Amino acid sequence: MRVLANDGISKAGEIALKEAGIELLDNRVAQDHVINFINENNVDVLLVRSATKVRQDLIDACPNLKIIGRGGIGMDNIDVEYAIEKGLYVINTPNASSKSVAELVFAHFFSLARFLHESNRLMPLEGDTHFNAMKKSFSKAYELSGKTLGVIGFGSIGQEVVKMGISLGMKVKVLTRKPRTQVLTLDFFDGQTLKFEITSTNDTDEFLKDTEFISINTPQTDEYIIDTPQFEKMKDDVFIVNTARGGVINEVTLLDFIESGKVAGAALDVFENEPAPELILLMNPNLSLTPHLGGNTVDAQEKIGIELAKQIIEIKKKL
């Protein structure tokens, strides 16, 4: 069996594949040449992240392809249903990067609540001349403890965000399309555990009215989850973080509500016009910005590689 990990795979994943007698091709192929490469090299497994697209034309043109794997959760760059109809196995790693994404959510919340995103820009420029003025301007900061955290989406990432919020002493609310109850377990360093039963709501108005920190953790959507009607129902001085997908929040409207003071600050790790975000977003001092880094940690990549390798090895036994 031959594997093309076109967007890369961790060393741990590489080792696991090789130990199972699976050949891993050490190539990075441009999108326009992927079909030819797969066919010329008799590739059985194509692994991608977000860069490589696996559409119907590729699936049709590569009859020897048996498995398509996505390192991560979102599958929007793969025509999943079509691939399955054609008899291919489609795999992903829904849990491997959840903690990394959740930690980035709180990195942004802390940055916004303490003005770190703005302070880090200005200190190198004005720290020696306007130190006291900046100290005063950044004094209206907030603790997260005791505040209300609202999480939109209750998949593996949303659950990790909720758990981290609980550990910080936050009140938590969860918004989903259909209400559901989930038991979450917090594991501590000394082996102790605590269980929390969390029930989500589908009442958007109730969810938004007193929520102070909002994290968006949903799959890609066909329309905005957060737009003018939702912004208008939010509490004043709300903080918002989007690590889900570009297009779940209206970025233009977001800027309007930042300007009006309704939104105290927002963070974007994903963008509607990715990978070329609008300049007006990049220049706004009330935004904390990262270039789609959610699952980009050494830890997450190790887990992703191992999880993909395990699934490929299991499927190989069936073929």
Distance (Å, whole) CA 177 – CA 280: 32
Instruction: Please name the amino acid found at residue 181.
Output: T
In contact, 58 and 81? CB cutoff 8 Å: no
Among residues 49, 108, 117, 245, the one annotated as catalytic is 245
143 is catalytic: no
117 is catalytic: no
274 is catalytic: yes
Among residues 23, 103, 272, 274, the one annotated as catalytic is 274
Distance (Å, whole) CA 76 – CA 221: 10
Listing from the earlier edge strand, what are the strands of the sheet with 263-268?
Answer: 171-175, 148-152, 213-216, 238-242, 263-268, 287-289
Among residues 114, 272, 292, 302, the one annotated as catalytic is 292
Closest CA to 295 of 159, 104, 110, 160: 104
Structure tokens at 103: 């930690």
Distance (Å, whole) CA 127 – CA 24: 51
* Residues annotated catalytic, as ranges: 245, 274, 292
